[in-house]
Structure 1
Amino acid sequence: MSTKKHIAIILSIGIYLFFLGNQGIYITDPVESNYALTASEMVQSGDYISPQIYGMYWYDKPILFYWQLASAFTIFGINEFSARFWPAIMGLIGLLLTYAFTRHLYNAKIAFIASLILGTSFEYWLISKAVITDMSLFVFSNAVLVCFYLAYRSEKKQYYYGAYLFAGLATLTKGPIGFLLPAFIIVVFMLWQRNSTELKHMKCAVGTLILTFVGGSWYYIMYSIHGTIFLETFLGVHNFLRATVSEHPKDNVWYYYLVMFIIGFFPWVFTLPLVLKKMWTKRACQKIDETTGFLVIWILVVFVFYQIVATKYTTYTFPAFLPIAILVARFLTERKTLLKKMLLFNLVFYTLLTFFVAIPYCQKYSAKDAGVIVAASKKSDAIVGSYGEYHTSAVFYSGAKIYRIEKAQNIDKLIPKAMSWNSKNVMPFFPEEDLIKENHVLMLVSTDSLDRFKFDIKGKWVLVGQRNQELLFKKQ
């Protein structure tokens, strides 16, 4: 089969899986809605430098993913399809990157299989449809390593420039980890190879300028505009604090990423016994070759690095799926029947998953319907409050300013502070004691907070509507 046919099949399968049903998959809380609302405010305000959410400056993530979302919103309108457009596109690019790299390392057959394995693994499918930064980071950070190794093993040293360029883009996507993690992998590989002479060919001077300009210009502009509060929040809270203090302590266990891998690499994880058996038979008496060593180091450094980092997230080790897919593909090339059955299973499985799990799940865990009711019920002078769990998606879909209702004595404890997870609480607050003074009030109440709402909030309230886990009350 020719390369053109391989690419056509890969793109056809990727487009089908990654775009299927996206227009009906609601924006969910709490993560997707933060990105979507920030990008929509970027488009509406015309400020494409300083991310904002709820009209407040927001230093959670760098700018590149917001630019991607904003571009889709500008072209296709502010909706679910637009929000999921760039993750799907980056998913396709990730498959093409895998194909091109693997073909260069081995041959077109292994490259084709590796791309199909990667694209039909559960976590890859999921992230290609999710409104989060991880697919963009996957492409850019892995492109650093691809460019590095292509330059390292050939006379085409200009590939090193690509490594620096993609390191800059990864830094604009996720922060310093965008260049630090690929750099760690490269350093470990170079130490294993004991090849210090290659440093002379790595374009370090010009490359550092490329990395600094591409990856650092936006940070410099933000610091110039916002000063130390930007550095304290972005670097302090969202990088240093996250690395040293667990945001979710219950997940900080040694087997966390092992479990995530088993789930994320479904269904191909079931082929690993075959792969390991064949790998052992073939290599038990052989010295590991350079390319295999590079791929293994790539995988191990990713998993060890994030195991050391205090905060655990399901997607952190996702970049390691690219070299894993390549290694698995190498040992499944002769299992044509198995590969065809797995591919057919995946096409049916993800189609069913889209319509019978993803769409209903996101409808349940999104406040879209409640936001629509708010938009239809709100008068110009009405205050809209949220009691109980705060849903940013309600703000995204309603276009209304929605206050988080808390007791006055608790608000000071919740508002953003330096080096604290409270830095995420940038939504507007309103003291519940002051509601008695307001005549026009709409109140979103989560069902599990209904009894507490009736006890705490005085006044006569009429139920306007109910959607999923949210009820909307109007003060009489």
Structure 2
Amino acid sequence: MKKFVLVLLLSVVLFFTFLGQTTVFQVAEARNAECAKEMLENDNWVVPTFNGELRTDKPALEYFGMILAYLMFGVNETAARFFSALCGVLVVLATFWFTRRHWGEKAALWASLVLLSSLHVILQFRLATPDPYLILCHTLSLYLFYEGWVSRKWKWFAGMYVFLGLGILAKGPVGLLLPSLTVGIFLLVTKAFNWKNIVLLKPWWGTFIVLFFSLPWYWAVDVQTGGQWTRGFFLEHNLDRFNNGLQGHGGPFILTVAFILAGMLPFSVFAVRALRAVWKNRKEDRLLVFALVAVGVVAVFYAFSHTKLINYTSPAYPFFAILLGYFISNLIEGRFSNRKLLIEFSIIAVLALGIPVGVYFIAENTPPLETVRWIAWCLVPFPVGAVFAVFYMRQSVQKGLLAVAGTFMVSTLIFFGGPFHIINHQSPIEKYHELVSAHPNVVAYKDFDNAFAFYAQRPIPVFQTEKELEAYLAQHKNVLVLTRDHDLSYMDTIPNIKRVGIDHDLFSRRMTGVYHEIE
């Protein structure tokens, strides 16, 4: 019980602390948060819109979560991210519960610490995106399947079907496809794919439950948009992304494996040792096979996709953490050899040293962050703690591993409390969102940073020609004009406006310009 409480406290601190400290400057966050805000304002929980126009990118589960949080806490950044963070807490706790049922508390604790030590895991569950909802549904559906398969009790399968339906509502077909492939391949490799087990799953009742939780909204949005949302989502945002890819988001077949390893640092440095141990013991424990299949399905599925993003492979994280937790707990107990562990600990130390160094050089060469490159010093706890971990490892493997976990959790908390907040302050969104929020008349010319839509009090009209903009300015007073491009010199030709400011967008070559009409 003490270990469970510890994991709960660590999860709450890491996922919720400083949650609303930054603006929704990230594009996906901005669009999702604004879409939910407009659905609430329009009193329409069916049709998603962004800046007054139909948005076909994502299904509704994340919007439902944000709307509920807006009703509880008001429309703000914390509310937009609240249920994402809660999903993170639930994933970690579910992983602890599931691992403890099969391998005991020590393995459960280490599986949880592996997740909580990953900077990318913490970041993933602190964003207003659909991925936290999908990861939760994916993880719980598979945990519940395995419980049902072991116990032969259908109540677990019923829970699995609930989360499969919610997974479809979270991110579409992958919410059903990835868990189904995992279950199917697991049954095949364990030679359990037979009629008796199919009957045990009761797929006829399962189909009803899945459709009950997913179909009503899909049907309603299809009817209310005349099929436009359905075509846009399934054809453009699913088939086209898988078959053709998004520009700049391709990569080699093996890239998805690299994503999983990078996303699960620091403990993924033990991946080779862990997978070797898992493979040797696979016949003794079916859970090892199940977790290995769950990781492999995600990696291979997205390896075939022409769009490759690191967040796509994040549903594999809990199952990879289970495998690492199994390995680490047995390593500490002396069941696995700890020879040459200094190699992995040294890699962790080098990687930890590379974090502040990398942040310094990225900031140095990334406008507008060159003025705050000193934030790299805030991340010195990464290498300092890693060096202590190497020192403790010589005394005790467990102490060394705990030092690694503690170092990365504390340093991650420092990152979100300091550098991440400072980086946000260099964003045009942070500089001008209050001006946009307070201004009664905001328009855009050619393009604008979508995050401003979240802070505007109404949809922002976008004009594509100078003639349209000048006509609007002639008919309205006190107009604030937003624009975004690599070169904003074209704004100098537009009469009756003055510059408020021009700033580099974060992690982009484009710049945001803010102009005010001359009265």
Report the TM-score when normalising by structure 1: 0.87
Alignment of 1:277-356 (within 5 A): 283=281, 287=283, 289-333=285-329, 334=332, 335-356=397-418
- Could you report, residue by residue, the CA deviation over 1:274-331 in whole angstroms, capped at 9, with x for unpaired residues? 5356557x65xx7464221111111111100011122112211101111111111111
SS in 2 for 1:474: strand
Q: List alignment gaps of at least 5 residues for structure 1.
A: 409-429
What is the distance in 1 between the residues matched to 2:276 and 2:180? Answer: 32
1:337, distance to aligned residue in structure 2 (A): 0.9
Q: 2:278, 2:323 within 8 Å by CA — same for their partners in 1?
A: no
1:461 maps to a residue whose letter is I
Once residues 405 and 81 of structure 2 are traced to their aligned partners in structure 1, the CA distance between those partners, rounded to angstroms, is: 24
Q: Partners of 1:251 and 1:89 in 2: how far apart?
A: 31
Which letter maps to 2:483? V
Counterpart Cα distance in 2 of 1:44 and 1:368? 24
SS, match of residue 269 in structure 1: helix
Aligned AA for 1:460? Answer: N
Asked whether the 8 Å contact 1:26–1:359 carries over to 2, the reply is: no
| CA deviation map 1:400-450 (0-9, x unaligned) | 432333238xxxxxxxxxxxxxxxxxxxxx945745754534212348432
Q: 1:401 — aligned with what?
A: 459
Q: Secondary structure at the match of 2:514?
A: strand
CA–CA separation in structure 2 for the residues paired with 1:203 and 1:366: 54
**Are residues 289 and 11 of structure 1, via their aligned partners in 2, closer, same or farther at CA, if it must alter by over 3 Å?**
closer
CA distance in 1, matches of 2:11, 2:190: 36
Which residue number corresponds to residue 223 of structure 1?
Answer: 222
Q: CA deviation at 1:452?
A: 3.1
SS of residue in 2 equivalent to 1:22 = coil
Confirm whether residue 71 of structure 1 aligns to residue 68 of structure 2. yes
Match of 2:166 in 1: 169
Aligned to 1:118: 115
For 2:46 and 2:312, the matched residues in 1 are separated by: 26
Quick check: 1:222–1:230 contact (8 Å CA) kept in 2? yes
The answer as to 2:516 corresponding to 1:474 is yes
CA drift of 1:30 comes to 1.2
The answer to whether 1:372 aligns with 2:411 is no
Q: Secondary structure at 1:463's aligned position in 2?
A: strand
Q: Label 1:250 to 1:75 Cα distance change in 2 as closer, same or farther (>3 A).
A: closer
Secondary structure of the residue that 1:332 maps to in structure 2?
helix
**Are residues 297 and 174 of structure 1, via their aligned partners in 2, closer, same or farther at CA, if it must alter by over 3 Å?**
same
Q: Which residue of 2 aligns with 1:426?
A: none
1:362 counterpart residue number? 424
Select which of 445, 448, 461 maps to 1:390: 448
Residues 330 and 61 of structure 1, relative CA distance in 2, 3 Å threshold: same
Q: CA deviation at 1:82?
A: 1.0
Distance in 1 separating the partners of 2:491 and 2:309: 33
Deviation string, structure 1 residues 24-67 (Cα, Å, up to 9, x no partner): 12112311001110111122221112222222232221111101
Unpaired stretches in structure 2, ≥5 consecutive residues: 333-396, 506-511
Deviations along 1:132-152, one digit per CA (max 9) or x if unpaired, are: 111111010111111111111
Q: Tell whether 2:505 aligns with 1:443.
A: no
Paired residues of 2:52 and 2:459 also in contact (CA < 8 A): no
d(CA) in 2 for partners of 1:119, 1:27? 23
- 2: distance between equivalents of 1:324 and 1:131? 24
Q: Give the CA deviation at 1:389.
A: 4.7
Q: Tell me if structure 1 keeps the 8 A contact 2:447–2:485.
A: no
Give the direction of change, closer, same or farther, for the CA distance of 1:250–1:9 in structure 2 (3 Å limit): closer
The percent of aligned pairs where both chains have the same amino acid is 26
Letter in 2 for 1:110: A
- Distance in 2 (alpha carbons) for counterparts of 1:228 and 1:448: 36
2:214 and 2:110 mapped to 1: Cα distance? Answer: 33
Alignment of structure 1 residues 104-253 onto 2, 5 Å: 104-195=101-192, 196=194, 197-253=196-252
Query: Given the superposition, is the C-alpha separation of residues 205 and 447 from structure 1 closer, same or farther in structure 2, using an over 3 Å criterion?
Result: closer
CA contact (8 A) 1:37 1:395 kept: yes
- Alpha-carbon distance between aligned partners in 2 of 1:304 and 1:274, rounded to the nearest angstrom: 21
Kindly indicate whether the alpha-carbon contact (under 8 Å) linking 1:370 and 1:471 is maintained by their aligned counterparts in 2. Answer: no
Q: Which of 442, 462, 476 matches 2:498?
A: 462
User: Judging changes above 3 Å, is the alpha-carbon distance between structure 1 residues 366 and 278 closer, same or farther for their aligned structure 2 residues?
Assistant: farther
Aligned-pair Cα RMSD in Å:
2.3
1:315 is paired with a residue whose SS is: helix
Shift in Å at residue 365 of structure 1? Answer: 4.1
Q: Mark the CA change 1:250 to 1:118 in structure 2 (over 3 Å): closer, same or farther.
A: closer
State the Cα distance separating 1:170 from its structure 2 match. 0.5
CA contact (8 A) 2:141 2:163 kept: yes
Contact 1:26 1:366 in 2 (8 A): no
Q: Could you tell me whether the CA contact under 8 Å between 2:116 and 2:409 is conserved in 1?
A: no
Instruction: Assess, with a 3 A threshold, how the Cα gap between structure 1 residues 327 and 37 changes in structure 2: closer, same or farther.
Output: same
Letter in 1 for 2:443: G
> Helix, strand or coil for the counterpart of 1:445?
strand
Q: Which moved more, 1:398-407 or 1:60-69?
A: 398-407
What is the identity, as a one-letter code, of the residue corresponding to 2:242? A
SS of corresponding position for 2:298:
helix
Partner of 1:414: none
Corresponding residue for residue 79 of structure 2: 82
**Residues in 1 aligned to 2:43 and 2:138: alpha-carbon distance in whole angstroms:** 29
1:133–1:174 contact (8 Å) kept in structure 2: yes
| Map of 2:6 onto structure 1 | 9
Q: How many residues align?
A: 443
In structure 2, relative to structure 1, the CA distance for the partners of 1:242 and 1:399 (3 Å cut) is same
Whether the 8 Å CA contact 1:102–1:114 is kept in 2: the answer is: yes
Tell me by how many angstroms 1:254 deviates. 2.4
Equivalent pair of 1:368/1:393 in contact (CA under 8 Å):
no
Q: Provide the C-alpha distance between the structure 2 equivalents of 1:138 and 1:363, rounded to a whole number of angstroms.
A: 30
Is the alpha carbon distance of 1:238 and 1:276 closer, same or farther for their aligned partners in structure 2, counting shifts above 3 Å?
A: closer
Structure-2 separation of matches of 1:106 and 1:288: 13
